[in-house]
A and B are shown apart, each in its own frame.
Chain A
């Protein structure tokens, strides 16, 4: 698929807006997992590494291409592993009846005292 200069610019512009909108209003509680999650998403670079390596013609290119795939695979696999681990801990109270809100009679009174 050919991307000429101007279609390239359009793609960059639209993708940038998309990224900005997607992250808007994210609660602070998700900052760390989201940083890790977006870190995983740019692990897609491994695909570019594979392209470069499969098209390598010299030993130098093979060595650099190998490095690109190695690092890209690490970015993708590691990013996925840590993000899944972090997000698995976030359970809403509904999913955990054990931790249902322990509301005490004075709970709200104290808040406004």
Chain B
């Protein structure tokens, strides 16, 4: 009786969860409804998790004696995993958001892999299809786990530079083939084929080992600038792994939610890669190589330093200023000061706009989030396609903590690693001010000819400190005039 009722309730809540998750995701894809979308999806998740405790009425006979222990472990795991991640998510700095998403994503991949491991070690899969799907989910989940962790380490600057060596792709291919071969051996072993050198549990361990290794090896050579695309790929991978495990567990809610994320994540990856003018293939297999050596130091002109106060006063009397914020601004936590400065300029009659490159920050859209956090209203923020023509008529382009996204080499220099990436035309403004910590190269490690252009002046210093000086200069001027 209980079994029947619990099955109906689990079925109904699973359906409701799938519906709410999809509807929530749909609402999240438009700014006006996004905030309510995540709540709708959250409700779906809550319903599904609560209902899954009804599984206790329907466990395998062999699991009945362990039920109390298992239930205790389940509550404990939910409490620990949920509260730690919740706390981390509530306290993480907005600038560290991409790393955080990478970690959560790795956790999802790990969970999918672990479910597959339980099925495999327990030899529970029925038939060849289920076994193959379980294996696929296992290896995709495991690759997503270790790959996401490497992506986190790179974004968190624990791993500083891409690790590249000769024959890397060949070695990765060998690891991938070995992984697939082990899958084949497992299928043979489960089907009761000839006795193998390694027993089944050993093969399963080997499979997970190889998949984790492949995730690490495939992510290590990829440069930091490409990490957003990589996280998006692993996000889609985790979705697919979850969908596959949903099939194995005969749970349509998991199948639907996982597959929806797999497809949505794939599309999101393509959109992002397009914004960076990188193909997904080139992100994964043709990494940003070391910048051509002969290019170093061959750019004509010199970097001309200017005082922050002088730049500020020049902007105070300009008609139009376009600001190009980059990750350096976020690192120095200068968004609030920047907006304060912008308010001063606007009060003095200057038309100020923000130009956001699709990959400003470490993740597409991250700069929009950071500016929104500082209170900058939407109608001052413009995306690349909408504002790029206006640089030519702007008096000043103020580049703060951005580098590669304004590198003119992307337009002209075929040997440059950023060649072909759409850039913001900061070099076309009548004057460009570049706020930068010091002389040096950007995240992708490439020289930037904008810094040497005749109409460019460099304001050296931490973005926050520079902006404080700029605010002081304009305030001093206005109070002297008053």
Q: Report if A35-B86 is in contact (Cβ < 8 Å); known contacts: A29-B365, A67-B110.
A: no
Interface digits, A19-45 against B, CB 8 Å rule (1 contact, 0 not)? 110111111111111111111111111
Q: Report if A60-B34 is in contact (Cβ < 8 Å); known contacts: A18-B22, A18-B263, A19-B263.
A: no
What CA separation (Å) do A75 and B109 show in the bound complex?
A: 9
Q: Is B212 an interface residue (CB 8 A)?
A: no
Q: Report if A70-B89 is in contact (Cβ < 8 Å); known contacts: A78-B103, A80-B42.
A: no
How far, in Å, is B289 (CB) from chain A's closest CB?
A: 27
State which residues 349-386 of B face A: CB under 8 Å. 349, 351, 356, 358, 361, 363-366, 368-369, 372-373, 375-379, 381, 383
Closest partner residue, chain B, to A3 (CB atom) = B250
Q: Is B16 an interface residue (CB 8 A)?
A: no
Closest partner residue, chain B, to A99 (CB atom) = B377
How far, in Å, is B434 (CB) from chain A's closest CB?
A: 22
How far, in Å, is B272 (CB) from chain A's closest CB?
A: 7
Q: Is B66 an interface residue (CB 8 A)?
A: yes
Size band of the B side of the interface? 35 or more
State which residues 27-73 of A face B: CB under 8 Å. 27-58, 60-62, 64-73
How far, in Å, is B390 (CB) from chain A's closest CB?
A: 6
Q: Is B254 an interface residue (CB 8 A)?
A: yes
Size band of the A side of the interface? 35 or more
Interface digits, A77-112 against B, CB 8 Å rule (1 contact, 0 not)? 111111111111111110010011110101100110
What CA separation (Å) do A23 and B96 show in the bound complex?
A: 24
What CA separation (Å) do A20 and B270 show in the bound complex?
A: 11
Closest partner residue, chain B, to A60 (CB atom) = B121
Question: Interface residues, chain A, CB within 8 Å of chain B?
Answer: 1-3, 5, 8, 11-12, 15-20, 22-58, 60-62, 64-93, 96, 99-102, 104, 106-107, 110-111, 113
Apart from A8-B255, A47-B253, A51-B52, 6 more pairs, CB < 8 Å: A29-B365, A32-B363, A47-B48, A54-B59, A54-B70, A72-B107
